Structure 1
Amino acid sequence: MAKRGCLHRLIAWCSRTFSDALGLCAAAAIGIVGGLGIYTLGYSGFTNYLGNDPTTCAQCHAMTEQYDGWLRGSHKNVATCNDCHAPHDNIISKYANKAENGFMHSLKFTLGNYPENIQIRPHNRQVTEAACLYCHADLTDQIRNDANHRGENLSCIKCHDGVGHKR
């Protein structure tokens, strides 16, 4: 006798699990929540956020100032938002960071508590600092190994905070 496929086992499990009234209500709730979630993701254009186009980051009014500053800044022709604001160590941490930031942005907009003057969160500050060191390793290695700075935890954006987003 041939083994039943995964799809057949899933259908059999669903038939057993959702056969009574409570099961049907649970199935309907799962369907409604799942459907609304898929609709919301599609409506929001979430697939745009998987790419590197800076105009995606400027879709909301909160990032207009940062986008305009990037257009005037020295990094416009050499770096996109992800080059400075997403981890460079591996693709999983890059997209995990993007997902977490996207969730937090959506949550703040949905709840209406997005500040007018946005501030970088501590984790994102660390990501941005790491990006500076990644792209400018030759220069930063010289600075960090200089006798005046050896052993110090230097911050690039403490002095150069307007470089990516010219003010």
Structure 2
Amino acid sequence: MKKKLMWLAAFGFISFALMLITKVPALGLDKAEFCGQCHVMDEQVDTYLHSAHRSGATCGDCHIPHSLVYGATYKAYTGTRDIVAVVTDTAPKEIRVTKLGKDILQENCLRCHGQMLELVGDTKRDGGKYCFDCHRSTPHQK
């Protein structure tokens, strides 16, 4: 029983470490070059590369939470989900962001542009709109 528990703990530790590795910037897993490897992302990558955000933000800067553990967990989950969808040919023709994804995008808009938004505040507060409801074409055209 002890041996099984030790193997389970080792597997858990290794799995957790591998998940955290997804947040290592040097691996480039947040960049358009990585995200664009799947043909379903062609339009998103193309519009991003023609936007002002290309010079100061990666895909992960907008779409992934910035805390280490939560960000790595979210990235591992969404990455696995996306790979399964591509491999099983069930990826949607039109990419749509989930409610959780919208909340993460909003948080990251505020994180980067918070100083500019000091007077306005969080546009989503009190039933308001997400930043990208008005800035729909930043950085993607749809």
TM-score (norm 2): 0.73
- Aligned with 1:162 (options 121, 137, 141): 137
Task: Note the 1:28-47 alignment, pairs <5 A.
Answer: none
Query: What's the CA shift for 1:109?
Result: 1.8
Structure 2 residues not aligned, in runs of 5+: 8-21
Matched, 1:57 2:35: yes
Query: What's the CA shift for 1:51?
Result: 3.3
Aligned counterparts of 2:54 and 2:110: Cα–Cα separation in 1: 18
Query: What's the CA shift for 1:114?
Result: 1.0
Q: Secondary structure at the match of 1:76?
A: helix
Query: Quick one: percent identity of the two aligned structures?
Result: 26
In the superposition, relative to structure 1, how do residues 49 and 106 fare at CA in structure 2: closer, same or farther (>3 Å)? farther
In structure 2, what is the equivalent of residue 140 of structure 1?
117
Aligned-pair Cα RMSD in Å: 3.1
The Cα offsets for residues 82-102 of structure 1, whole Å up to 9 and x where unpaired, read as 1101112x1111111111111
Aligned counterparts of 1:56 and 1:78: Cα–Cα separation in 2: 17
Larger Rg: 1
Structure 1 residues not aligned, in runs of 5+: 1-8, 15-45
Using the TM superposition, name which of 58-67 and 109-118 deviates more.
Answer: 109-118
Aligned counterparts of 1:50 and 1:122: Cα–Cα separation in 2: 26
Matched, 1:99 2:76: yes
Aligned residues: 124
The Cα offsets for residues 56-112 of structure 1, whole Å up to 9 and x where unpaired, read as 000000111011101111101010101101112x11111111111111102212332
